[in-house]
Amino acid sequence: MYNKRNQKSDRQGRLLILSVIIILIIGGAVSFFVVRSNSADSQNNVIYTKDKSITDYDTAKRQQVTM
């Protein structure tokens, strides 16, 4: 038999578990979109150097400085 105090704590426990699951889902979605946007940015940062090789933006800048 449940008394009122047990029912209240049970409802709070369910609410806590539900909120944790929702937070995890939102966090996973946010991290997924951040990873996708980062990979898209790294694809846009590809430029051609003088020897016609495709390199990352930072390494290409470094090569231009040394040339």
Q: Render the burial of 32-66: b for 16+ CB within 10 Å, e for the rest.
A: eeeeeeeeeeeeeeeeeeeeeeebeeeebeeeeee
pLDDT band for position 17 (cuts 50, 70, 90)? very high
Structural domain containing residue 19: 4-66
Number of separate domains in the chain:
1
Q: pTM for the full model?
A: 0.42
Q: Which stretches of 1-67 are assigned E, i.e. beta strand? A: 47-48, 54-55
Span 19-42, pLDDT tens digits: 999 999 998 888 877 776 665 555
Q: What local confidence, expressed as pLDDT, does residue 47 receive?
A: 56
Higher pLDDT, 7 or 16: 16
pLDDT band for position 3 (cuts 50, 70, 90)? low
